[in-house]
Amino acid sequence: MGISKSQLKLITSLSQKKYRQKHGLFIAEGIKVVNELLNSAFEVELIFCTNDFETMLPENKVTRVSETELKKISTLKSPNKVFSLFKIPEEKSIQNSGLILALDAINDPGNLGTIIRLCDWFGISQLICSKDTVDCYNQKVVQASMGSLTRINIKYLDLKDYISESRFPTFIADMNGENIYQTNVPKEGILIMGNEANGVSEEIKNQVQHKVSIPRFGETQRTESLNVATAAAILISEFKRNP
Amino acid sequence: MGISKSQLKLITSLSQKKYRQKHGLFIAEGIKVVNELLNSAFEVELIFCTNDFETMLPENKVTRVSETELKKISTLKSPNKVFSLFKIPEEKSIQNSGLILALDAINDPGNLGTIIRLCDWFGISQLICSKDTVDCYNQKVVQASMGSLTRINIKYLDLKDYISESRFPTFIADMNGENIYQTNVPKEGILIMGNEANGVSEEIKNQVQHKVSIPRFGETQRTESLNVATAAAILISEFKRNP
């Protein structure tokens, strides 16, 4: 059957956030990621796959394609049998429960994907993103999250307003904060990680009392910062490590 | 003056490891990374920079180029004033002292760069890489390490032989290892992190008694793994957090 012109146009448009939002669809690729999505509450729109991809989906959802056609629509170096369109689920509201991670203006899709995987590992089921954080349905985020996307409630909102209205204990990752290893952290609360270059915005910083940092151990004082995903990993580990 | 044909040929060749080794040179780009390298023990071979890049280097090391020429040789999306060639320093031998990180077949340049930054932050000055780990002078590694490369002694060797001969306490990051939060870890030793998809190779695993893992907190048991750089961050933090 192959890929129709209108399908190709749709797929191409989905590299842009505005068209993902307009159509309510996003792209996921490769056996592992697509199977994780198929086994989740996410709803599949269409899959394009080579003949050796096994699927129980109804025929009207499945388009068989050649390796060449798959390569044409794929953004991966080595396309892996299946390319799919899924429906973007509705966002759910955030509950004050457990540890919540909040991201202020994270730019890099790889970082967001890694952070989503991290949340999944540590049982953090709620992730708040400021409106200027990279879209979690960006294709690079979807691939980097490796299916963890399906298990986390991700909500985009005005982070400054949310924090100012929240009564949940809130912590900011900040270079000048208290040594995390010497801080008594609660089991529940919000941990805010900031932009790769600028950290958490001043407006939000001014609203939050608790600031925590990962101490530097290097002899020199020149390492400017940790990557935001590795810093998040260490901080989340500190919130979670004590039973 | 501009870039000569022979320079262009040299630069192009340096995207391959064999030519980096043949010429003993690697590429670094952008103001931040190049300045970190210039302020280190690393020896500069040549820099190509736009007129607004300030430098005290002798004239024979500096080639002024236009923005267009810079774009031509750069691999960055937004080239930032300077492109440079540095000499690959000689590897130093590894001493049994402090915490040493060892990498078994890490493939992704971004992961290696992030891990080098992590070592720098945590004062880990010795990094061992198996021979099949991605080259640390790969341009993507250099850029991702953000100058931390200059402060870490990185040694490529036969990891299996090294571990079998080493008398230093050795730990392996392994999904089936002991809960790291409940493990008494020493101040000194070797921590081995494995390949992104396959973990540490069986041959090395069989040689090492101590295996440590980061417990999964998610309700579901489906998160397959953490990214290797985030896992390294959490494990190193556990070795370093107790004074």
3-state DSSP call for residue A156? strand
Question: Which pLDDT tens digit goes with each residue over B132-170?
Answer: 999 999 999 999 998 899 999 999 999 999 999 999 999
Number of structural domains, chain A? 2
Return the sign of the alpha-carbon dihedral for residues B63, B69, B75, B76: positive
CB pairs under 8 A between A and B: 97
Interface test with A, best of B187, B234, B236, B239 (most A CBs within 10 A): B234
Q: Are residues A71 and A134 in the same domain?
A: no
CA B31 to chain A, closest CA, distance in angstroms equals 14
In chain B, the largest separation of any two C-alpha atoms, in whole Å, equals 63
Average pLDDT for A68-90: 94
Of A87, A113, A136, the domain-final residue = A87
C-alpha A78/C-alpha A240 separation (Å) is: 37
Interface test with A, best of B101, B187, B227, B239 (most A CBs within 10 A): B227
Average pLDDT for B80-86: 96
- Give the residue carrying structure tokens 């890929």: A3
Average pLDDT for B42-46: 97
Taking contacts as CB-CB distances below 8 angstroms, the residues of chain B near A240 are 217
Q: Are residues B185 and B221 in the same domain?
A: yes
Contact between B218 and A121 using a beta-carbon 8 Å cutoff: yes
Question: Which pLDDT tens digit goes with each residue over B201-238?
Answer: 999 999 998 999 999 987 665 666 789 999 999 999 99
Residue B104 included in any domain: yes
Contact between A122 and B217 using a beta-carbon 8 Å cutoff: yes
CA B119 to chain A, closest CA, distance in angstroms equals 8
Residue B94 included in any domain: no
* B78 or A26, which is more confident: A26
Q: Are residues B68 and B135 in the same domain?
A: no
Of B51, B67, B87, the domain-final residue = B87
Question: Which pLDDT tens digit goes with each residue over B162-176?
Answer: 999 999 999 999 999
Q: What is the pLDDT of residue B218?
A: 72
Contact between A234 and B231 using a beta-carbon 8 Å cutoff: no
Residues paired with residue B189 on neighbouring β-strands, in sequence order: B99
Taking contacts as CB-CB distances below 8 angstroms, the residues of chain A near B219 are 123, 125
The CB density around residue B100, as the number of other CB atoms within 10 Å, is: 24
Provide the pLDDT confidence category of residue A243 given band limits of 50, 70 and 90.
low
One-letter amino acid at A202 equals: E
Q: What is the pLDDT of residue A219?
A: 66
This model of the complex carries an ipTM of 0.90
Q: Quickly count helices (H) and strands (E) in chain A.
A: 9, 10
CA B71 to chain A, closest CA, distance in angstroms equals 22
Contact between B146 and A224 using a beta-carbon 8 Å cutoff: yes
Interface test with B, best of A141, A148, A214, A217 (most B CBs within 10 A): A217
| Closest residue by Cα to residue A109 from A99, A98, A117, A101 | A117
Torsion angle defined by CA atoms of residues B2, B5, B6 and B11, in that order, rounded to the nearest 10 degrees: 70
C-alpha B53/C-alpha B64 separation (Å) is: 9
Contact between A122 and B227 using a beta-carbon 8 Å cutoff: no
Residue A144 included in any domain: yes
List the single residue in B with minimal CA-CA distance to A126.
Answer: B218
Q: What is the pLDDT of residue B148?
A: 93
Q: What is the pLDDT of residue A118?
A: 95
Of A66, A87, A108, the domain-final residue = A87
Question: Which pLDDT tens digit goes with each residue over A62-74?
Answer: 999 999 999 999 9
Question: Which pLDDT tens digit goes with each residue over A218-242?
Answer: 766 565 678 999 999 999 999 999 8
Residues contacting A92, CB < 8 A, separation 6+? A153, A155
3-state DSSP call for residue B32? helix
List the single residue in B with minimal CA-CA distance to A152.
Answer: B218
Please give the model's pTM, rounded to 2 decimal places. Answer: 0.92
Whether the pLDDT of residue B41 is over 90: the answer is yes
3-state DSSP call for residue A95? coil
**CATH code, domain carrying A117:** 3.40.1280.10
Contact between B114 and A181 using a beta-carbon 8 Å cutoff: no
Question: Which pLDDT tens digit goes with each residue over A178-209?
Answer: 999 999 999 999 999 999 999 999 999 999 98
C-alpha B203/C-alpha B219 separation (Å) is: 33
Question: Which pLDDT tens digit goes with each residue over A27-63?
Answer: 999 999 999 999 999 999 999 999 999 999 999 999 9
Instruction: Quote the strand ranges of chain A, DSSP E.
Output: 25-29, 44-49, 62-64, 82-87, 99-104, 126-130, 153-157, 170-179, 189-194, 210-213
- What one-character DSSP code corresponds to residue B68? H
* A150 or A218, which is more confident: A150
